[in-house]
Chains A and B, each alone.
Chain A
Amino acid sequence: MSELKLMKGNEALAEAAIRAGADAYFGYPITPQSEVIEYLMTEQPEKSTGMVVLQAESEIAAINMVYGAASTGKKVMTSSSSPGISLKLEGISYMAGAELPAVIVNVVRGGPGLGTIQPSQADYFQSVKGGGHGDYKLYVLAPASVQEMADFVEDAFDIAFKYRAPVLILSDGLIGQMMEKVYLKEQTPRLTNEELIEKHGSWAVTGRKNRERNIITSLDLQSEKMEARVHRLMRKYEQMEKEDLRFEKILCDDAEYLIVAYGSSARISQKAVELARKKGIKVGLLRPITLFPYPKQALFELADQVKGILSVELNAGQMVEDVKLSVEHKVPVEHFGRTGGIIHTPEEVLEALEQKIINNGHIRHHKTRESSIL
């Protein structure tokens, strides 16, 4: 049955995985996402839904366990945090290449290296620009609340199986650790093996019964075949851009300035927008919900309306590059963000907007000069 509960983001994600009818979770502890596996080990879904939960010997083993279960058409998930995701990238690239559905969760902490255990959004590049080797992309969902930590699990599985591709939920230590009320959906039953074979038997390795053998691999030693595989992947990504782009526009209709932010930064920026409007500054917020596909067109169109854009991220400036690419130099774009696990306040965001965009003489001068040249 559906329920309303007060939960941590990481716990809501774990509970949602059980309720989504997941078949398995393989993970390895790392702060700030260890609650996911702790919750699952405590809940023992193997006894209720039959969902397998296993603590692997490493993030590498965990992602390859995911590869194994996904090869058989099972609904499988893993979660980790930044350094652990770096370790998983080989396996993620293999899954993209072998066209396997799976959900991977990154509760991001500050980096590089061992970094810090505090929240960060410094894995944007890693998430949307490939990360692992080869020509592939991940469908990336960025939750901005505990509710979305729960809701996006099922959404991610749907997309993973629609495209037979790995999907990333890009959260961070703030969303993972904070507690909010969350509506939990009722239990979706797991597929029986017979149902699974009926659904995924055309490709999954479930035992060669009444059909030719199935093979899961990402290897094509013939260049033409490999190129055809890459083209097949690219067609999936084009379809994702057409059919499964998600974003949210908040107070954009009359906006003169725009903040672009996702995840925890979007929550903070939403408050900054409120503060700005109290001061009479018309600011809107564009929140990409999917980071790939990216709301390029929406940004391109908003660039005709606003005077400047601030990309707010908990990093040294990553998504700002995609904002700039999207608006094609129509308006000034600046970045604001804290790093090292420090979380910007709404006041800091507003101050940055005023300093870097609204009152930035250099930007205005630069723009005037550019237009005079044109």
Chain B
Amino acid sequence: MDILDIIKPENQVFCKTKLMTDTALSYCPGCGHGTAHNIAMEVIDEMGISEDTIGVAPVGCSVLAYDFMNIDITQAAHGRAPAVATAIARTWPEKYVFTYQGDGDLAAIGTAETIHACNRGENIVIIFVNNGIYGMTGGQMAPTTLEGMRSSTSPYGREIESMGSPLKMTELIANLPGVYYVTRQSVHTHKHARKAKKALQKAFENTRLRKGLSFVEIVSNCNSGWKMTPNESNIWMEENMFPYFPLGDIKVDGKLK
């Protein structure tokens, strides 16, 4: 088979995600954000809703999500994406509205906006990428930084007594009646990415059915911030992050598991 045969459409087994732009990702090699973007865009493409989807980008590493996702996006102030999404969903009830936020954005500065958008049961999807650190600003402690984990603002490790415990935002909001679907996934292997994609499909399907708020946490790595190689960071994530932030569904169809 020569190259001309190989590139024929009928021989194609894999292609670039259609809704991803050609802009080079600004994420560090090995970071999970690229995969999280990919599966989100695949779901929107496969559901045929790209023309009716409005995204809300956060402040943090994924602030430039609008450079990579080929859909309409507005970029919110730090932590306020759920409030921004609330207004879009309320004034355009027929649209698919999602936020894409990191842990500092969603679980620290934006705690109030997150909890109240969840409590009102806004008909939106929240994609929460939790890597336990502030990546964009250079590796500071996040609300989800694990006990003993080192960061530039917890250089001797997170100490619970003075810095508090890592915040399980996902479990917290799962208890709110307005929240319809809560799940925690990861994207560091093909298997996990496929499961996470299914979760996102379910989440956007919930929007279509006007079921209320769907919350998909993606536990991810930050090899740069954690000062590890990509592979080391994924192993460390499995061994340390997953025991504290266990993967799986927490609330399905409005019922706690």
List A residues at the B interface (Cβ < 8 Å). Answer: 23-24, 26, 52, 54, 56-58, 60-62, 64-69, 71-72, 74, 76, 90-91, 94, 98, 193, 205-209, 213-219
Contact = CB atoms under 8 A, between A and B. Distances in A.
Contacts of A62: 83
B66 A215 contact: yes
Q: 6 closest pairs, A vs B, by CB?
A: A68-B87, A68-B84, A64-B80, A205-B72, A71-B74, A65-B87
A24 B53 CA distance: 20
A64 B63 contact: no
Interface stretch (B28-36, B88-96, B197-205, B232-240): B88-96
Nearest to B95: A207
Contacts of B92: 72, 193, 206
A24 B87 contact: yes
B76 A52 contact: no
Given A65-B83, A91-B77, A205-B73, A52 B54 contact: no
B253 interface: no
B73 A66 contact: no
A206 B87 contact: no
Interface string B39-65: 000000000001111101100000110
B70 interface: yes
B72 A213 contact: yes
B54 A61 contact: no
Given A67-B84, A68-B56, A208-B50, A215 B75 contact: yes
B125 to A, nearest CB: 15
A366 to B, nearest CB: 49
Given A68-B74, A205-B74, A61 B51 contact: no
Question: Residue among A24, A58, A65, A218 with the most chain B CB within 10 A?
Answer: A65
B70 A61 contact: no
A96 to B, nearest CB: 12
Given A205-B72, A207-B53, A217-B75, A69 B112 contact: no
Contacts of B85: 68
A61 B75 contact: no
Contacts of A215: 66, 72-75
B71 interface: yes
Contacts, number: 123
Given A64-B113, A91-B80, A209-B52, 13 more contacts: A52-B87, A65-B83, A66-B87, A67-B76, A67-B84, A68-B84, A68-B86, A71-B74, A90-B77, A206-B54, A206-B72, A207-B72, A213-B72
B47 to A, nearest CB: 13
30 contacts: A23-B91, A26-B87, A52-B91, A54-B90, A56-B83, A56-B116, A61-B113, A61-B116, A64-B83, A64-B84, A64-B87, A67-B84, A68-B56, A68-B76, A68-B88, A69-B87, A71-B74, A72-B54, A91-B80, A193-B92, A205-B73, A205-B74, A206-B92, A207-B72, A209-B52, A214-B72, A215-B66, A215-B72, A216-B73, A217-B66
Contacts of A66: 87
B132 to A, nearest CB: 24
A61 B83 contact: yes
A305 to B, nearest CB: 47
A67 B76 CA distance: 8
A164 to B, nearest CB: 14
A216 B74 contact: yes
A58 B112 contact: yes
Contacts of A193: 92
A214 B88 CA distance: 15
Contacts of B113: 57, 60-61, 64
A11 B112 CA distance: 29
A69 B92 CA distance: 9
A331 to B, nearest CB: 44
A67 B54 contact: no
Contacts of A68: 56, 74, 76, 83-88
Contacts of B72: 205-208, 213-215
Contacts of B90: 24, 52, 54, 69
A93 to B, nearest CB: 9
A364 to B, nearest CB: 53
B85 to A, nearest CB: 6
B126 to A, nearest CB: 14
B162 to A, nearest CB: 27
Contacts of B116: 56-57, 61
Given A23-B91, A57-B112, A94 B77 contact: yes
Question: Residue among B75, B77, B87, B112 with the most chain A CB within 10 A?
Answer: B87
B80 A61 contact: yes
B80 A60 contact: yes
A74 B87 CA distance: 10
Given A64-B113, A67-B76, A213-B72, A54 B51 contact: no
Contacts of A64: 76-77, 80, 83-84, 87, 113
Contacts of A52: 87, 90-91
Nearest to B55: A205
A310 B53 CA distance: 56
